[in-house]
Structure 1
Amino acid sequence: MFKLTKDQIDSIKKIVFVTGAGISQESGIPTFRGKDGLWRKHDAMKLATIDAFYDNPKLVWEWYNERRANIFASKPNLGHKAIAELEKYVKVAVLTQNIDGLHQKVGSTEVLELHGSIIKIKCSVCNYKEEMTSEISEILPLCKCGNILRPDVVWFGESLPQDVWQKAMILASQCDLMVIVGTSLVVSPANTLPIYAKQNNAILIEINPENTEMSSEMDLVIRNTGAISLPEFVSLFKKN
């Protein structure tokens, strides 16, 4: 399946994974744009923008609490585990669009959350941030400053955290191999990461059951899921 030569494998010292909702789908977390995706059932503009939050914070919090309960109950799958295991053999970084924390839960040590984290909250006004270990009991949680707390995620129309994005660009531009797993590559600016890798002459591998915006740019395309494909990918480095 993975047509890499021994010389290619020997030359790979740094691998960057770019992961999207597809890798967590097999852990029971719905994707956004698939046939059963969240955006087919919900209006993103009423749930994932700052204007929607100010218009109806109760609705937004109810939706995120429902998603959070699902995520807390989910476990990393074989795809997440394979990426973490790969650190035994080569330097690995994960640039994820997911907000579920499953990469960290399974032991990946260098994970950049491009779109924030659903298990973190922040104040809508001041700089207060906090990580959640359990469900929020208040319907509208308030900060110590008196303003409403919000999920620490990147909503439509908001910029990515600049420190995270700068580091992601550097990692992408320095890798020898980029593996893009379970993302449609339609969301900007995360969809530019393969371009940075390509400029470093990195090998690009896409793992996705469906065609994406950048499939034609890939060196290798695996039409399967991360949970099925990634354990086999890791075995290449074990044998080496």
Structure 2
Amino acid sequence: MKRKAVILTGAGISAESGLKTFRDAGGLWEGHNVYDVATPEAWQRNPELVQQFYNERRKSVRDAQPNEGHRALVKLEEKFDVTIITQNIDDLHERAGSSNILHLHGIITRSQSSINPELTYEIPGWEIEMGQLCELGTQLRPHVVWFGETVPMIEKAVEICMQADVFIVIGTSLQVYPAAGLIDMVPHNASKFIVDLNDSTVSRDVVRINEPASVGVPKLVEQLLKSQA
């Protein structure tokens, strides 16, 4: 029976594919206050601006390609039962070929009903147009969790983390809750690793790899695969 490897990924792994975040200095959200484009209130106040903003983000995601960090996680499936929990709203893990991915904050390649977040739809191109409606007759919006909204998949993520034999954090400094608290749900005897260029406050039993994901993840995956030989 394969050991359970749980991977928590953040913006750092996607940044190497060219997708910056609003947390980056000079990042793609610069010029847009987060409360103007990523809250329910912003959607009520100016849905056209929010829609345009996410249409542009979606276009960037479609143009981006998975990097060596994404691809290495696919290889890990050869000898581990791998689940990826991602804070990212892009589909780069899927396009790299990973089998089991949980999106904490939704995925930008899908739309959702404005009144029922469980009604989601594939977006054929890069654009959701104003006037495109869900089956309940309300405007379609991006399938992403905005600031101030609950994170519906967090309980499932907690259950997954509690089963981990190996827990790997990639490209996140564990500053944003509730996702940052997932490491506390991992069993004490699990092997824990962080691959990130930024410092993070974590317990001493975590092995730190201060390298970009495209470099550090392939090295770690190779090491883990050898340990199962």
What is the TM-score when the length of structure 2 is the normalising length? 0.92
Query: Are the counterparts in 2 of residues 176 and 200 from structure 1 also a CA contact under 8 Å?
Result: no
Query: Given the alignment of the two structures, is residue 204 of structure 1 paired with residue 195 of structure 2, yes or no?
Result: no
Compared CA separation, residues 144 and 170, structure 1 to 2 (3 A):
closer
Q: CA deviation at 1:47?
A: 0.5
Query: Are the counterparts in 1 of residues 130 and 139 from structure 2 also a CA contact under 8 Å?
Result: no
In structure 2, distance between residues paired with 1:111 and 1:91: 12
Query: Given the alignment of the two structures, is residue 143 of structure 1 paired with residue 134 of structure 2, yes or no?
Result: yes
Q: CA deviation at 1:75?
A: 0.8
Equivalent residue for 1:187, pick from 142, 154, 176: 176
In structure 2, distance between residues paired with 1:53 and 1:217: 42
Query: Given the alignment of the two structures, is residue 18 of structure 1 paired with residue 5 of structure 2, yes or no?
Result: no
In structure 2, distance between residues paired with 1:129 and 1:75: 24
Residue deviations 1:48-91 (CA, integer Å, cap 9, x gap): 00010010000001100000000001110000000011001111
Question: What are the equivalent positions in structure 2 for 1:206-221 lying under 5 Å apart?
Answer: 206-212=194-200, 214-221=201-208
In structure 1, distance between residues paired with 2:28 and 2:40: 18
Compared CA separation, residues 204 and 40, structure 1 to 2 (3 A):
farther
In structure 1, distance between residues paired with 2:24 and 2:204: 22
Gaps of 5+ in 1: 1-11
Residue deviations 1:73-123 (CA, integer Å, cap 9, x gap): 111000000001100111111000001011111111111000001011111
- What SS does the aligned partner of 1:174 have? coil
Identity percentage of aligned residues: 39
In structure 2, distance between residues paired with 1:101 and 1:175: 23
The AA in structure 1 aligned to 2:144 is V
Q: CA deviation at 1:217?
A: 4.4
Q: CA deviation at 1:147?
A: 1.6
Query: Given the alignment of the two structures, is residue 176 of structure 1 paired with residue 160 of structure 2, yes or no?
Result: no
In structure 2, distance between residues paired with 1:238 and 1:218: 21
The AA in structure 2 aligned to 1:84 is V
The range that moved more, 149-158 or 129-138, is: 129-138
Q: CA deviation at 1:233?
A: 1.3
Paired residues, what number?
Answer: 226
In structure 2, distance between residues paired with 1:91 and 1:29: 28
Q: Which residue of 2 aligns with 1:3?
A: none
The AA in structure 2 aligned to 1:135 is W
Equivalent residue for 2:148, pick from 147, 157, 161: 157
What is the TM-score when the length of structure 1 is the normalising length? 0.88
Compared CA separation, residues 217 and 46, structure 1 to 2 (3 A):
farther
Q: CA deviation at 1:40?
A: 4.3
The AA in structure 2 aligned to 1:109 is S
| Ranges of 4+ aligned residues in structure 1 off by more than 6 Å | none
